[in-house]
Structure 1
């Protein structure tokens, strides 16, 4: 059976950038992918991040999204080898990982979870890697990394890239960083660390 991956989108939802990542992962690792997004599976085409954030805030929001991710994880029929979240989706996944059975997800990778500073008391039940960009507007990344490293199952790193570097829809997208982390995710998906 092919490894299963859960992708939890950022505020852009199901868009060409997320589709590209899903296709690249499937091509590189022969995986099955399940997507969760804030818009219940409706494809989105936002002009920019401001438009995406306005839609996200109106149609979903952080608490509802975290609840949707938790519900999806609690009702899964087969476990995920890897759960991957981006920005708002990473923050939602962080919160959900504290409320699941450890057999549901083997490991998680969270890219630039901008709301994580509000939920530092959360303890994920599975090994979790948190990957930040070089800065966040609401907190000092180095300080949050140090706090997250105190948790036994969490590793946290800072990259030289900006928040959004994995999403081609973001003005911060970085092709080289995308390819670098695609290789990391591919190795994790097939069980090679």
Structure 2
């Protein structure tokens, strides 16, 4: 039986940069359910500033957290893994603490840049948080320590925020391949 993966996008939503990750994850035989801030409408942004302006106008952080929570609640089948990126990772963090996550086995959050505003929340499933080397609003090492004290696996990497997204100026091919392999290992270990 195919493992179910819930993927919550960053502010770019469903864009060409995401297509590679979707294709690569599907090659491991998973069933992907995609959540994005634009109700499934494909997006094409010139840069991160344009994407953030659209995200802020069309969705925003609170609405995205509600969308992520609804996505978790609406699944009647077990979810092997929920993955969130950037704004989607923060939305997932909030949803993991606010909803019944009993059908979800685990979560991996990549560079949740707004997590520092929600450190009192506690996810209800095993959760890994993977940061780049820095964030503009907080010291990554300090946040990692705080999350680890709460029982959350939290690490920093030598890469920049956005390192998995080909649409980001911080994209890093080697990091993409490394973390894709880790995601595939999680899913295939089932």
TM interval, shorter chain, is over 0.9
Query: Which consecutive residues of structure 1, in runs of 5 or more, have no partner in the other structure?
Result: none
Q: For residue 174 of structure 2, give the secondary structure of its aligned residue in structure 1.
A: helix
Partner of 1:166: 164
2:22 is the alignment partner of 1:22: yes
Stretch of structure 1 that moved more, 12-21 or 119-128: 12-21
Alignment of 1:134-149 (within 5 A): 134-149=133-148
Map of 1:101 onto structure 2: 100
Separation of aligned partners in 1, 2:39 and 2:121? 25
Equivalent residue number for residue 13 of structure 2: 13
Structure 1 residue 30 displacement after superposition: 0.5
Q: Which moved more, 1:96-105 or 1:58-67?
A: 96-105
Residue 112, structure 1, aligned to residue 136, structure 2: no
Aligned residue for 2:79, secondary structure, equals coil
Give the aligned partner of residue 87 of structure 2.
88
191 and 101 in structure 1: CA distance in 2 versus 1, 3 angstrom threshold:
farther
Secondary structure (helix, strand or coil) at the match of 1:139 reads coil
TM-score, normalised to structure 1, is 0.96
Deviations 1:21-60 (A, max 9, x none): 1110111x10000000000000000000000000000000
Q: Distance in 1 between matches of 2:109 and 2:182?
A: 13
| Number of equivalences | 190
Shift of 1:191: 2.1
Higher mean C-alpha displacement, 165-174 vs 73-82:
73-82
What are the superposed Cα offsets for residues 50-105 of structure 1, whole Å, 9 maximum, x if unpaired? 00000000000000000000011111121210000000000000000012334221
Aligned residue in 2 for 1:70? 69
Stretches of 4+ moved more than 3 A in 1?
none
